[in-house]
Structure 1
Amino acid sequence: MKYVVCEEPGRFSIKDKKFPKRGEGEVLLKIKRVGICGTDLHAYKGNQPFFTYPRILGHEIAAEVYEVDSTRKEFTKGDKVAIMPYINCGTCRACAKGKTNCCEKLHVFGIHTDGGMQEYVSLRTDLLLKANELTEEEISIIEPLAIGAHALKRGDIKSDDFVVVMGCGPIGLGIIKQAKMTGAIVIAIDLNLERLEFAKEIMKADHIILMNEEVIPKLKQLTNNAMGDLVFDATGNKMALEFGVKLLGHGGRYVLVGLSKGNLEFYHPEIHAKETTLFCSRNATMEDFKVVMERIADFPTNAYISTSVPFDLMPNHFEAWTANNSNIIKATITF
């Protein structure tokens, strides 16, 4: 069978290998569609933390059951499934508390282990969610939307919150739309005007602010001086991460969704005076996946997936997708 592997930063190869064998307690899956994540783009550029090469990328996956043990009744051949890519140990303190998304021994499929850019894979049944009622396109975006759902849960969003989202990439846009579903007033901030317009027109953000504007005065005007009750960073940019606390109102909650490699610095009197609550939000849980599956019919999937190419042509497009001026929202590859 064929697979695509990132051999080293900036280089993909298309190769053949033996058909995988289904292990005990596993289901053999035929990969149907894979979403391209910011993590994949960073891995290709060589700046993804905790990453090694060569690696088969891909963790936003729509698949079909190809072979399953006949004694297992939860799946049958032909079922459409979503894959939970966070492979947890199930025994550590975090797992015991239900925080499988931050397992002490967590391995992410497609990042720490080889992922979905291959024709077939065999995975544990507890990592799969049956999704026959959804389209392949919808299944392939469950994972990034689940990250947003988890972040909103971490921030304990309320319907009367002023919600500020920094970053209108796929994760930020998912947070914006799902925050709107709760009834919150959502303000999007980005450097890219086209992405901001997408956030407003498609994801229904109430207001948009271009990052090179006078952000703080504009936010004060939009919130009647209240500032953000709940602020999300979906950029992973150090400057943005540190700037986010300035967008918080008193008693505000700040959720760090994006990941930066280095140290962050905050002026303590500023965050102390506001009694700031600071959260990190990592990955998602199975419950977050289920929440997304329940609400995905109301999500603008066709607009969110802005391009799709066959997997064997993907290496020809990847460089363009990493460009700073790329206006691709979400790319997927098909098998």
Structure 2
Amino acid sequence: MNIEKTKSPAVARSMECGTVIEPGVFRLETRALPEDAPDGWVLVDIEAVGICGTDYHILEGKHPFLDYPRVIGHELSGRVAESVGPWTAGELVVVNPYLSCNACRACMKGKPNCCSSIEVLGVHRDGGMCSRIAVPQQNLYPATGLTELQAAMVEFLAIGAHAVRRAALSADDRVLVTGAGPIGIGTALFARLSGAEVHLLDMSQTRLAQAKEKFGFKNTHLVGTDILSGPLQDGFDVIFDATGNAAAIEAGFPLLAHGSRYVLVSVVKETISFSDPEFHKRETQIIGSRNATREDFETVMSAIRSDRIDTDALCTLTVRLEDLPAKIKELATDREALIKAIVTL
């Protein structure tokens, strides 16, 4: 993997951007600092950027919806650069990176998270791994009471909060979250806040031990063990898949109880297949969960403010942007004990 930092000539009012030039090639590129924003947009000076599986997949050439080169970064906190509309210069904000058209059927039905022409910062268009970006006003939320690092963790937690809301959990539900990475942990945390009995399944004993020690999840299961035994023999009322693995998704169907819901949080390139008789016998619901809405962002921020989410436990490490070219290969290849790495500017 070629990891390097380019040296560009000095440019007046310039900034460095963390850019994946092509699969395997990450550089800090010098670009012009945005000085103006279109009507209805706001300039935001980025404070912190969370790195997630999407960014690693982009670096590895595994993302299905992307053109290179791409400035990565969609888990963003920042400060308003110039006062405009209701926003005051210097105000800390959380950035919702899902840019919707506001005109398609999904948007008109209040589901901009699955807009038919959605553009995600850092995926469909350049993201926030840089000093400043322009963002539609509707995609900014006040981060009152949060730190810069906490605000950068809201987006990935909102993915889990949205999935839990899609599942319509009740306190008597038995829940299994497959995949104990960042998205899985976030999903499990909000499932637990709903009052459900939460179990975690992963192929890594390290991740399961971390979930138990850092977050208090007592019901952990290693892939390959006989999970459907004893009190769990009837299966799970709700399963959330956060593995990003087609085989793991298919392996989850036999673990579903009768009258259950299967929420697919992760997305894979492959076709998923399952036994239709078993699916009908259980009257299973399959629910796709994509991105998050303002409601989910607000849910997360409220949970952080009230100390129901331990953000210190979630943040594994911080790294400055100028040090990222030397660190990103290590982060991408050794993620077993990594929950959330945050880049600071």
Could you tell me the TM-score, scaled by structure 2's length? 0.93
- The answer (yes or no) to whether the contact 1:168–1:234 under 8 Å persists in 2 is yes
Quick check: 1:68 aligned with 2:78? Answer: no
Quick check: 1:7 aligned with 2:21? Answer: yes
| In structure 2, distance between residues paired with 1:326 and 1:203 | 16
- Candidates 291, 311, 331, aligned match of 1:301: 311
Query: Alpha-carbon deviations, 1:261-314, whole Å to 9, x = none?
Result: 010110111111000011010000111111111112321111111011001111
Q: Secondary structure in 2 aligned to 1:67? A: coil
The alignment yields a C-alpha RMSD, in angstroms, of: 1.2
**Post-superposition offset of 1:200:** 1.9
Q: Secondary structure in 2 aligned to 1:15? A: strand
Counterparts of 1:152-167 in structure 2 under 5 Å? 152-167=164-179
Q: Secondary structure in 1 aligned to 2:135? A: strand
| In structure 2, distance between residues paired with 1:41 and 1:265 | 27
Counterparts of 1:2-81 in structure 2 under 5 Å? 2-20=16-34, 21-69=36-84, 72=85, 74-81=86-93
- The answer (yes or no) to whether the contact 2:210–2:337 under 8 Å persists in 1 is no
> Corresponding residue for 2:126?
114
Query: Alpha-carbon deviations, 1:131-166, whole Å to 9, x = none?
Result: 131111111111111110110011111111100000
**Post-superposition offset of 1:204:** 2.6
Counterparts of 1:241-320 in structure 2 under 5 Å? 241-296=249-304, 297-320=307-330
- 4+ long deviations beyond 4 Å: none
Could you tell me the TM-score, scaled by structure 1's length? 0.95
Give the residue type in structure 1 aligned to 2:332.
T
Give structure 1 stretches of 5+ with no counterpart. none
Give the residue type in structure 2 aligned to 1:28.
L
Aligned length: 328
| Percent of matched pairs sharing the same residue | 40
| In structure 1, distance between residues paired with 2:335 and 2:328 | 14
- The answer (yes or no) to whether the contact 1:65–1:78 under 8 Å persists in 2 is yes
Give the residue type in structure 1 aligned to 2:342.
T
**Post-superposition offset of 1:215:** 3.0
| In structure 1, distance between residues paired with 2:157 and 2:27 | 29
**Post-superposition offset of 1:75:** 1.1
Give the residue type in structure 1 aligned to 2:61.
G
Give structure 2 stretches of 5+ with no counterpart. 1-14
Q: Secondary structure in 2 aligned to 1:3? A: strand
Q: Secondary structure in 1 aligned to 2:71? A: coil
- Candidates 211, 229, 236, aligned match of 2:223: 211
